[in-house]
Amino acid sequence: MSLAPPPLRDDCFALPAGVDWTPVDEALQNLRVRLHCVVGCEEVKIEQALGRLLSSDIKALRSNPPLPNSAVDGYGFAFASLGVGNQCLPLTEGRAAAGLRFEGKVPSGEAIRILTGAALPDGVDTVILEEDVNASETEIAFRAGVKAFANTRKAGEDAAAGDVVLPKGRCLTPADLALLAAVGHGDVPVYKRLRVAVLSTGDELVAHGGAAQDGQIYDANRVMLLGLLAQMGLEPVDLGQVKDQREALKERLDEAANLADVILTSGGASAGDEDHVSALLQEAGALQEWRIAMKPGRPLALALWQGTPVFGLPGNPVAALVCALIFARPAMGLLAGRGWNEPQSYTLPAAFEKHKKPGRREYLRARVRGGKVEVFASEGSGRISGLSWAEGLVELPDSAAEITLGDTVKFLPYSAFY
């Protein structure tokens, strides 16, 4: 039975005394060095392993291919038996086909009919393509110029037995499953799925699809975050909504800590009168409120609730998604056993202009058209349509920037975060 990972330290989110505004890179580094995997391991059939994270390096149990074989349909022979100039070789009786190895040995100076994937018979190291041959029932003829070992595959040239074919922490793809099967695996060791509870807070929220009164809004954050977790291959736990009532919120957090490995809340992460998430975590002595030098999404509440990490995201949908992508996603990757993954970015010319002041990193909703990056017309944090319109984010530096048409900018596609 596998040992359980150690719990996170109580001070894993604590910042040094005197810290006011935390730069994005510093905040990310703090998370990177203080968090670790919190889930156990299990074995699953490779048919159920898509999207799972490997809990150990995987070695080939069998070489692929297991034997030297033919890459084409044609005729096989020993290259050393060829003379000078055009060739005419008698045919050995029989043939070599995939799955049915030729039992005998092909005499030197003779050839044998061989099909794609067939193991090379003894006495054969070179194959000529059937289209390059004139053949009768008893012999073949072909022109000079064939190279030694042509149209053959070496044993283990793809993977040799004992080689590490996939590393620990790998998120398994369909191609990975094919590789695992090819080198002899039926079961694979993986981390248990990280369970992430999602909770929305606020008196103003009502469930989507129902009736909303004046002053109420539909809960957009919860379905967005649940969908993001599913795309990441994590196990979402939907804890619904909770009103701005301290005791009700405490009960829901207790429930979340029992059901999940991580808690994501949205709303109530600032310091206002109705920001009960922050207040409740503060009362428990568990809150670390990181004021991130970024736009959107400055307040990020981080805490441990009964030993379970809590990421308190802003209530604004745009800020909630940006904070989830930039901070919660890599942190949850560490907690899940994937390791710390930097999203793949691209440098592309801008199809927009912008004057940016120094002091904060900025993320703009963006998409690529005609090889250039467009940004959403409004930077308003409540414009959910901009999240849907976009295909990713433009990241602008902490320093001042003057972006003109054609200047190169850093583009982070949404897909880079999954």
Q: What is the C-alpha to C-alpha distance for residues 290 and 281, in angstroms, rounded to an integer?
A: 13
Q: What is the mean pLDDT of the chain?
A: 91
Whether residue 324 sits in one domain with residue 215 = yes
Does residue 13 belong to any structural domain of this protein? no
- Residue 133: how many other CB atoms lie within 10 Å: 16
In this predicted structure, what is the pLDDT of residue 245? 81
In this predicted structure, what is the pLDDT of residue 16? 62
In this predicted structure, what is the pLDDT of residue 1? 47
Does residue 1 belong to any structural domain of this protein? no
Q: What is the C-alpha to C-alpha distance for residues 191 and 352, in angstroms, rounded to an integer?
A: 43
Listed range (58-72, 162-176, 207-221, 344-358) with the worst mean pLDDT: 207-221
Whether residue 223 sits in one domain with residue 99 = no
Is a pLDDT exceeding 80 seen at residue 305?
A: yes
Is a pLDDT exceeding 90 seen at residue 298?
A: no
Whether residue 360 sits in one domain with residue 228 = no
Q: What is the mean pLDDT of residues 329-334?
A: 95
Whether residue 267 sits in one domain with residue 327 = yes
Contact indicator for 328, 339 with CB cutoff of 8 Å: no
Does residue 5 belong to any structural domain of this protein? no
Where in the sequence is the domain holding 82, given as residue range(s)? 69-153
For the domain that residue 226 is a member of, what is the CATH number? Answer: 3.40.980.10
Contact indicator for 35, 325 with CB cutoff of 8 Å: no
For the domain that residue 130 is a member of, what is the CATH number? Answer: 2.170.190.11
Does residue 10 belong to any structural domain of this protein? no
Is a pLDDT exceeding 90 seen at residue 271?
A: no
Whether residue 285 sits in one domain with residue 217 = yes
Gyration radius (Cα) of the chain, Å: 30
Q: Could you read off the pLDDT of 140-161 as tens digits, one per residue?
A: 999 999 999 999 999 999 999 9
Contact indicator for 17, 309 with CB cutoff of 8 Å: no
DSSP per-residue letters across 200-267: EE-TTEE-TTS---TT-EE-HHHHHHHHHHHHTT-EEEEEEEE-S-HHHHHHHHHHHHHH-SEEEEES
Q: What is the mean pLDDT of residues 15-21?
A: 65
**pLDDT tier at 290 (50, 70, 90 boundaries)?**
confident
Question: Which of 276, 308, 336 is the last residue in one of the domains?
Answer: 336
Q: What is the C-alpha to C-alpha distance for residues 85 and 207, in angstroms, rounded to an integer?
A: 82
Q: Do the strands 111-114 and 74-77 form a parallel or antiparallel pair, or are they unpaired? A: antiparallel
Does residue 235 belong to any structural domain of this protein? yes
Does residue 9 belong to any structural domain of this protein? no
Listed range (53-57, 198-202, 274-278, 297-301) with the worst mean pLDDT: 274-278
For the domain that residue 402 is a member of, what is the CATH number? Answer: 2.40.340.10
Specify the pTM: 0.86
Find tokens 């207040």 and name the residue: 279
Does residue 237 belong to any structural domain of this protein? yes
Is a pLDDT exceeding 70 seen at residue 120?
A: yes
Q: Write the DSSP symbol of residue 385.
A: H
Whether residue 285 sits in one domain with residue 177 = no
Q: What is the mean pLDDT of residues 66-79?
A: 97
Is a pLDDT exceeding 60 seen at residue 273?
A: no
In this predicted structure, what is the pLDDT of residue 131? 96
Contact indicator for 360, 294 with CB cutoff of 8 Å: yes
Does residue 16 belong to any structural domain of this protein? no
Whether residue 216 sits in one domain with residue 135 = no
Number of domains in the chain: 4
Whether residue 147 sits in one domain with residue 161 = no
Whether residue 298 sits in one domain with residue 211 = yes
Listed range (277-281, 361-365, 393-397, 409-413) with the worst mean pLDDT: 277-281
Whether residue 161 sits in one domain with residue 76 = no
Q: Which of 5-19, 227-241, 257-271, 275-289 has the highest mean pLDDT?
A: 227-241
In this predicted structure, what is the pLDDT of residue 275? 59
Cβ within 8 Å of residue 385, ≥6 positions away: none
Is a pLDDT exceeding 70 seen at residue 286?
A: no
